[in-house]
Amino acid sequence: MASSTGNEKSVNPVLRISQLDALELNKALEQLVWTQFTSCFSGFKPGVLAHLEPEIKAFLWLVLWRFTIYSKNATVGQAILNIQYKNNFSQTEKYQALSKQQKLWYLVLTVGGRWLEERCYDLFSSRPLQSLCKVKSLISFGTGLVKLCGLLNFLVFLQQGRFATLTERVLGIRAVFGRPQGVRQLGFDYMNRELLWHGFAEFLIYLLPFINFQKIKLKISSWCLPVAGLPSSDQAAAAQCKECSLCGEWPSLPHTIGCSHVFCYYCIKSNYLHDLDFTCPKCGSEVQSLQPLKYKIEMAELHP
């Protein structure tokens, strides 16, 4: 009863991008397994695995096949993406698991094919005999033909969306979703609003470095504050020297730019370096020359 119920579940086709993502995940897993395995022999003599590398890889891929395709009808990458293989030779549209023959042939064509390619290359490269030249040429021709068929299969896959690899097409195994996909609850209004906001944020990030906020701030402050007239005596000039025209505090190392107002040295220097067209925020005078203040101001003048 349980098996019949499992075989009656509907089949949901898989998007092309999901199938390609599953293939990339499988390659990443194989590379990760091989890296972890070789790290166990880091303390041994270099090249200790070179002679048996094709056989070791084939054994590791055999273990992966046993716990993925053979037991779950799906690779690791497919399991992550909720995908599994379906027997496409079945007459019904309901899901049907892979047969044992399909699983074994999958092992032969994937693991066995890669092992044969690597091992034959090592054998023919180390033994350049004339009797083996014909065999080598036949194997090279067969390998090229298989790769060409794989390219044609990939082009057909891009058009039809089924059988991402040549092995899947030959064995008649098709990738389908293992569980029904949930209904998308996200509205397009929300997506459009998010896209517009992110686009506006990126535009601001690009635009903000070109805006001189310090100059705008000083310009606004010069509009809000009354324009100070030029002093008529040294006493009036000294009265204006009790605070920095930028920070409003007691001027530290007071300097002038040619007008009657005083600035801290670090305030005027940093603003002038930031903006060469700096003008006094109180009277609008341009920087003529940065000179130390000639008047001597005592702190006691702040507390009469």
> Exposed, middle or buried, 255 (CB in 10 Å: 0-12/13-18/19+)?
buried
Q: What are 15-53's pLDDT values in tens digits?
A: 888 899 999 999 999 999 989 988 888 888 877 787 888
Residue 221, pLDDT score: 66
CB of 140 closer than 8 Å to CB of 75: no
Q: At 176, give phi and psi (nearest 5°).
A: -135, 165
SS3 285: coil
Tokens of 60: 């590791």
In whole angstroms, what is the distance from residue 57 CA to residue 50 CA?
Answer: 11
Per-residue model confidence (pLDDT) at position 59: 92
pLDDT at 85 over 80: yes
Q: Which of 1-10, 178-187, 294-303 has the highest mean pLDDT?
A: 178-187
| Cα angle: 5, vertex 73, 82; to 5 degrees | 80
Q: Predicted confidence band at 106 (pLDDT cuts at 50, 70, 90)?
A: very high
For the chain, give the mean pLDDT. Answer: 77
| pLDDT of residue 117 exceeding 50 | yes
Q: Give residue 155's pLDDT band: very low, low, confident or very high (50, 70, 90).
A: very high
Domains parsed from the chain with CATH numbers: 16-179 (no CATH), 236-294 (3.30.40.10)
Q: What number of other Cβ atoms are within 10 A of residue 159's Cβ? A: 8
d(CA 88, CA 108) in angstroms, rounded, equals 19
Among 106-110, 268-272, 297-301, the least confident range: 297-301
Q: What are phi and psi of 87, to 5 degrees?
A: -75, 105
DSSP 47: T
The Cβ of residue 224 has, within 10 Å, a number of other Cβ atoms equal to 8
* H-run or E-run covering 83: strand 83-87
Give the distance between the most distant pair of CA atoms in the chain. Answer: 113
Contact by Cβ (8 Å): 252, 265: yes
pLDDT at 50: 79
Q: What is the pLDDT of residue 214?
A: 66
Say whether 261 sits in a helix, a strand or coil: coil
pLDDT value at position 104? 93
Does residue 248 come out as left (phi exceeding 0), alpha (psi in the -120 to 50 range) or beta?
A: left
pLDDT at site 128: 57
State whether residue 52 is helix, strand or coil.
coil
